[in-house]
Structure 1
C-alpha cells in the first residue's frame, strides 16, 4: 500500500441524496453531509477529479443533496443517474466516468456504508484500484450492519479511513499553499463538529 497522493486520486460520491441521507442513524446525517462537503472542497483545492452517482433519483424524487452542486457544478451536471443498479460498478456509465479520470486511487464515500459504499468499494478493489472508503462521510441504519460492512471491506483489501485522515494525508505539509488551504478546511470541519456536540470552541 502506497501513501495517498492527490495526483493519483479521484473522489467518488455515491447516492448522496436527500431521502437516502435520512437512513443514516450511526451518526448524525448532518455530520455525514458536513464531511462530504469537506471532501469535495478539498478535492477542489487539490484538483482531484470527482465522479458522482445517484440511485433512482428521478423515479423516487430523491434529489441530490444540497450544498454540493455549488462547490463542483461540473461533477453535479455529469453525475451518473443509475436507474436501479445497486452496485455502482455494475453501471458501465459509472465505470467509464471513473476510467476517464485516469486515476488509479479512489477516495470513496456512500450515503450508507452497508449499502451504497460497500458493493462499489469491493468491486473497484477487485477491478485493480486502490480504494479508500471514507466512513464518516456516510453511515448506516444499524451499528452492527456498519461494523459488518467495515469488516467485509477490510477483508477485501479496502482501506478504511475518515475525512480528517484523508485531508491530512493529502495535504502532506501544512506549510505549503495547498496544505494551508486544506488545514483551514479541516479546522472549519472540526470546529463545526465540536460545536455540534455542545463543547466550547
Structure 2
C-alpha cells in the first residue's frame, strides 16, 4: 500500500514539472537546431511536454513521462534518421540537465533552512529519480511518447494512425507503469543511470 504524504505529492509534482519543462524546452531547441519544426497536429511549437497521466504516474510511482511534440514530416535534416537522432539527443540532454541540477543545491541552501528552501532542495533531489524514469519511459517506441518518433521513423506509414493513438497509447503506458512492468524491465538501466548521476 502506498503511503504518500501531502509533502511527498507536492515535491513529486514540482519535480515532474521541472523535468517536463526541461525536456520540452530541449525537445524544441534540438528540433529547431536540426532544421525542423513542430507539426500543428502535435500541439504546435509549445515548449511543454506536460502530460496529465504522466504526472499521475510520477506522483504515485515516481515514474512519469511526457507527451511528445510531433515534428512536421520531412522538416528536419537527416529525414527519418534525423528523427531518431532528435529523440536520442533530446533525452540525453534532458538527463544531462537533470544531472546538472545538483549544482544548484548549495546556492539554494545558502538562503537558510526555511520550509521553502528545504522544499526546493527536495524537489531537486527527487527530480533525479523522476528525470531518469522520464527519459527511460519516454524512450519507449510508442506514440504519444518521444520514442514513438523512432517507431514512426522505422514505419512512416503509421504516421496517420499515430495521430489518433494518444489515448490508447497513454493507457498502454499507464498499464506498463502501474502494473510494475516498467520497474521490472527498466530498473537495471535506471540504477546504472542513477549511480552515474549521484557519483
TM > 0.5 fold call: no
The structure that has the greater radius of gyration is 2
Structure 2 length as normaliser, TM-score? 0.28
More strand by percentage: 1
Structure 1 length as normaliser, TM-score? 0.28
